[in-house]
Amino acid sequence: MPTKVTARYVLGHHNGRHVLLENACVVYSGHTIEYVGHDYTGPVDEERRLGDALLMPGLIDLDALTDIDHLILDSWAGAEQAKGHQWSEDYFRNRADVFTAEERQQIREYALIQLVLHGITTYMPIASEVHSEWAEPLEELVGMAETSSRLGLRAFLGPAYRSGVNVVLDTGERSVMFDDDRGRDGLADALRFIDHANELRDPLVNAVLLPCRIETLDIELLKATAAAASERNVLVRLHSLQGLVERELILDWHGVTPLELLDQVGLLNERLLIPHATYTDRNPAVHGEDRGDLARLADSGASIIHCPLTSMRYGSTLDSFNAYKEAGINISLGTDSFPPDLIRGIDAGVQLAKILAGTNDAGDVAGYIDAATLGGAHALRRPDLGRLEPGAQADMVAFSLADIRDGVHDDPLRTLLLNGTARQAVLSVVAGRTIMADGVIAGVDLDHWRLKGQELFEKMRSAYTVRDARNRPADELFPPVYARLER
Ligand SMILES: [Zn+2]
């Protein structure tokens, strides 16, 4: 028997586009949506009335932090401090895991709970390898897949791997130090994880290849990744086109741009997801004009993962959302750091697009909402996600608009973006299962996780000192806003 959810506003899907329905309902049965509209008269098993809320497709976050927050520490640094956030040459030779295997599982659970609470229903994880001895062990991802399934999120997972680590050399220059065997072993583990995920036969656990960053993979590993993706028919997400250091290293080593390298090694195709993609030739720090990169990206069928809030907080932005979209590039969204708040992310992106264009009508709210839903689904090659229409997966989120602080309702999407946050999520459903209602996740003690998260964060923060070439204390690497007055 079906379940019916009614809300003041429903973002449905009709003839290939999102449409807004007022005083409407979504009816689903099992994993699948059966009806979206104003009048459902059939029998229902259960009915949930959300009142003044916006019910919409669950948010798809393809660069989702499944780690402890580090942006709170490292998004303020000047050049000298920033060097202390990377590994030193000495640490590369004497590296160690900061966390135990058990703590790593706790970190994953903490982070996944945060995704649920912020209305994300589908995610592809990103972790910070900076506090790992190398990258992500197979067992860690096997454990994470279990936690993810228990919480009920839809996951696209795999162990991150790399053959090199970003370091600050003794000369003070940024570079990468390599151990190619570790990269090969990492890819072998990633392939084992694909087998593992297939054996689970859990529709919520999907295997993908998640190599770390283009400059941390040797050329053979890039080629082997492309070959494995094609052979296994799986997606690949690879951080690239995300910074000048990366661009210069790739030009120096291979004599081509990162985008050309992706093409040369066989990765630039519809299976590829590129987080950030901010350093194409349009970028003012590159050529300041499009010399064909956007068309090349669009023609390849690859998707980009735009992370507006994180980019802004590290002082950059996609230049521009509108230009990439007009070029025909599929744009999906990611949060990339804490908080995993795509509502605030979309607001940041929309306002930055206005600044870049110098005109208010460049604020493409629909384009951004599409990216968070349909764009993500397209990147995942899952047309049954990201839309509320009969036959689609019953993945949805509702944001309350019932608080006086939400202000007035005009278009509810604008009210939510301008005045709100993803913290207003009051219902989250994945494949027909309610995974969060009224801020409560069944079986999860949020107070416990709040304290646990802080404990793990303190451990991570204090570990920067040993990696810094100058072994500076954490308070020097991360100076407080105001000096602390001791009692
Ligand atoms: Zn990222």
36 CA from centroid of ligand 1 (Å): 35
| In a shared domain, residues 363 and 417 | no
CATH of the domain at 130: 3.20.20.140
451 CA from centroid of ligand 1 (Å): 26
185 CA from centroid of ligand 1 (Å): 23
Q: Where are the beta strands (DSSP E) in 91-185?
A: 120-126, 154-157, 164-168, 174-178
pLDDT at 424: 98
| In a shared domain, residues 203 and 320 | yes
121 CA from centroid of ligand 1 (Å): 19
DSSP 400: E
Domain that holds residue 427: 1-58+388-444
Q: Where are the beta strands (DSSP E) in 219-276?
A: 236-237, 272-275
Q: Where are the beta strands (DSSP E) in 285-437?
A: 303-306, 330-333, 396-400, 425-430, 433-437
| In a shared domain, residues 332 and 196 | yes
Question: What is the CB-side half-sphere exposure of residue 334 using CA atoms within 13 A?
Answer: 27
Report d(CA 224, CA 163) in Å as an integer: 12
Q: Using CB atoms within 10 A of its CB, is residue 81 exposed (0-12), middle (13-18) or buried (19+)?
A: middle
197 CA from centroid of ligand 1 (Å): 24
Q: Tokens 């890039």 map to which residue?
A: 222
435 CA from centroid of ligand 1 (Å): 26
303 CA from centroid of ligand 1 (Å): 14
| In a shared domain, residues 293 and 203 | yes
Q: Can you give the pTM of this predicted structure?
A: 0.98
Report d(CA 366, CA 411) in Å as an integer: 11
239 CA from centroid of ligand 1 (Å): 6
415 CA from centroid of ligand 1 (Å): 28
Residue 481 lies in a domain: no
Residue 65 lies in a domain: yes
Angle at 60 between CA 234 and CA 52, to 5 degrees: 155
Query: What phi and psi values does residue 471 have, to the nearest 5 degrees?
Result: 50, 40
Q: Which amino acid is at 11?
A: L
Please report, rounded to a whole number, the percentage of residues in the chain having pLDDT higher than 90: 97
Token digits of residue 355: 């600044």
Where is the domain boundary, 406, 424, 444?
444
Residue 456 lies in a domain: no
Residue 292 lies in a domain: yes
| In a shared domain, residues 45 and 96 | no
Report d(CA 49, CA 123) in Å as an integer: 27
128 CA from centroid of ligand 1 (Å): 9
478 CA from centroid of ligand 1 (Å): 21
| In a shared domain, residues 417 and 430 | yes
Query: What phi and psi values does residue 175 have, to the nearest 5 degrees?
Result: -155, -170
Where is the domain boundary, 345, 363, 385?
385
**How does pLDDT run across 98-157, given as a tens digit for each residue?**
999 999 999 999 999 999 999 999 999 998 888 999 999 999 999 999 999 999 999 999
pLDDT at 130: 85
| In a shared domain, residues 39 and 88 | no
**How does pLDDT run across 234-273, given as a tens digit for each residue?**
999 999 999 999 999 999 999 999 999 999 999 999 999 9
| In a shared domain, residues 248 and 208 | yes
Token digits of residue 334: 């990611």
| In a shared domain, residues 133 and 165 | yes
Residue 379 lies in a domain: yes
442 CA from centroid of ligand 1 (Å): 30
Residue 466 lies in a domain: no
Cα dist from 378 to 278, 372, 457, whole Å: 20, 11, 35
Report d(CA 138, CA 343) in Å as an integer: 33
316 CA from centroid of ligand 1 (Å): 13
260 CA from centroid of ligand 1 (Å): 20
pLDDT at 1: 84
31 CA from centroid of ligand 1 (Å): 31
Report d(CA 222, CA 267) in Å as an integer: 8
pLDDT at 368: 98
| In a shared domain, residues 308 and 400 | no
| In a shared domain, residues 108 and 133 | yes
314 CA from centroid of ligand 1 (Å): 11
Q: What is the pLDDT along the chain (487 residues), one digit of tens a residue?
A: 899 999 999 999 999 999 999 999 999 999 999 999 999 999 999 999 999 999 999 999 999 999 999 999 999 999 888 998 899 999 999 999 999 999 999 999 999 999 999 999 999 999 888 899 999 999 999 999 999 999 999 999 999 999 999 999 999 999 999 999 999 999 999 999 999 999 999 999 999 999 999 999 999 999 999 999 999 999 999 999 999 999 999 999 999 999 999 999 999 999 999 999 999 999 999 999 999 999 999 999 999 999 999 999 999 999 999 999 999 999 999 999 999 999 999 999 999 999 999 999 999 999 999 999 999 999 999 999 999 999 999 999 999 999 999 999 999 999 999 999 999 999 999 999 999 999 999 999 999 999 999 999 999 999 999 999 999 999 999 999 999 898 8
Rounded to the nearest 5 percent, the helix, strand and coil shares of the chain are 40, 25, 35
| In a shared domain, residues 149 and 225 | yes
30 CA from centroid of ligand 1 (Å): 34
Residue 172 lies in a domain: yes
Pairing of strands 164-168, 174-178: antiparallel
Report d(CA 292, CA 327) in Å as an integer: 10
Q: Using CB atoms within 10 A of its CB, is residue 178 exposed (0-12), middle (13-18) or buried (19+)?
A: middle
Length of the chain: 487
Pairing of strands 53-57, 3-14: parallel
Q: Which residues touch 121 (CB under 8 Å, ≥6 apart)?
A: 58, 59, 60, 153, 154, 395, 396, 397, 428, 429, 430, 435
74 CA from centroid of ligand 1 (Å): 14
- How many angstroms from the chain centroid is the CA of residue 174? 25
Determine contact, residues 277/315, Cβ cutoff 8 Å.
Answer: no
Determine contact, residues 214/255, Cβ cutoff 8 Å.
Answer: no
Report d(CA 390, CA 29) in Å as an integer: 10
408 CA from centroid of ligand 1 (Å): 35
463 CA from centroid of ligand 1 (Å): 22
Where is the domain boundary, 385, 401, 434?
385
DSSP secondary structure letters along 363-381: --HHHHHHIIIIIHHHHTT
pLDDT at 129: 83
- Angle, helices 138-151 vs 101-117, to 10°: value is 30
335 CA from centroid of ligand 1 (Å): 8
Query: What phi and psi values does residue 385 have, to the nearest 5 degrees?
Result: -115, 165
275 CA from centroid of ligand 1 (Å): 6
Residue 204 lies in a domain: yes
Domain count across the chain = 2
Query: What phi and psi values does residue 60 have, to the nearest 5 degrees?
Result: -110, 115
Helices and strands of the chain, counted as H and E runs: 19, 19
Determine contact, residues 425/61, Cβ cutoff 8 Å.
Answer: no
CATH of the domain at 16: 2.30.40.10
41 CA from centroid of ligand 1 (Å): 46
